Amino acid sequence: MMKQKNGALSKLYIALILFFLYAPIIVMIVLSFNKGNTIVWKGFSLKWYGELFQDRNLMGALANTLSIAVLASFFATILGTSAAIGINNFKGKTRSIIQNVSNIPIISPDIVMGVSLMLLFTFLGMIFHFQMGYVTVLISHICFCVPLVVLNVMPRLRHMDRSIYDAARDLGCNEWQAFFKVVLHELMPGIVSGLLISFTYSLDDFIITHFTQGAKFQNLSTEIYAMLRRKIPPTINALSTLLFVAIIVIMVIINLRDRHEEKMKNEK
């Protein structure tokens, strides 16, 4: 009897958590199809989706956001994978210290990183005579995405059998061939996870972008923040819904890949 009560309470507790987590998102999605421009339901319509793609400011901010996210995740994946391999080649305390240092950007507050990068770019701008904008935002996003890639690749390196690389060398592969055909293949699940997580973090970032964007650059998060000074248009509901769906698709891809990997391991 007690087990049944505990089970019912656990289900109720989980249901309440899920409700408070997803109720605002569900309301936003529903309002994105609202014909009116208030929270009062006026009927189903795709009006705001049509107006969304006609808003040049939002489309420009979205293009900036997506391009930054794609480029930042791409370069961060290359740098993070290389860094993880380099860290793994160290031994003992040296490797532990370097790995802990690489994790600092992940655990430190975003505002600390944002302010420090702003000061760095301001100082460099005075020397080399440039202003903050697209490039500084891209560099900033790469900086906080690299540790995420390292964090995803390192476990794969620890569990990789070193003898596979040695066997490839014995069978005639040179160092580069053995790396691309063996090491990179073994690390690919971690690399893909790091790439996708970097993309989502870059897509979602506001604080670091706010401090490093300068006066002429706007991405989606800073554009929406600027709208808070006036009434936020219902097109934001439509845009947020599309972004939410995109993130869900990415998460489904990650989960399917993890399940496929686990299935392959069990078959072996």
Decide if pLDDT at 3 tops 70: no
**pLDDT at residue number 158:** 82
SS3 44: strand
**pLDDT at residue number 5:** 61
SS3 136: helix
At residue 45, what are phi and psi to the nearest 5 degrees?
A: -160, 150
Query: What residues form DSSP beta bridges with 34?
Result: 44
Smallest Cα–Cα separation from 236: which of 40, 62, 66? Answer: 62
**pLDDT at residue number 248:** 85
State pLDDT tens for residues 201-232. 998 899 999 999 988 888 888 888 888 777 77
Q: How many Å from the N-terminal Cα to the C-terminal Cα in the chain?
A: 43
List, in sequence order, the alpha helices (H) in 90-183.
Answer: 92-102, 104-107, 110-128, 134-159, 162-170, 175-178
pTM metric for this prediction: 0.83
State pLDDT tens for residues 87-97. 888 887 888 88
DSSP secondary structure code for residue 228 in this structure: T
State pLDDT tens for residues 50-108. 888 888 888 898 899 999 999 999 999 999 999 998 888 888 788 888 888 888 888 88
Residue 106 vs residues 40, 120, 203: alpha-carbon distances, Å: 41, 19, 16
- The CATH classification number of 55-267 equals 1.10.3720.10
Give me the residue spans of the domains in the chain.
Answer: 55-267
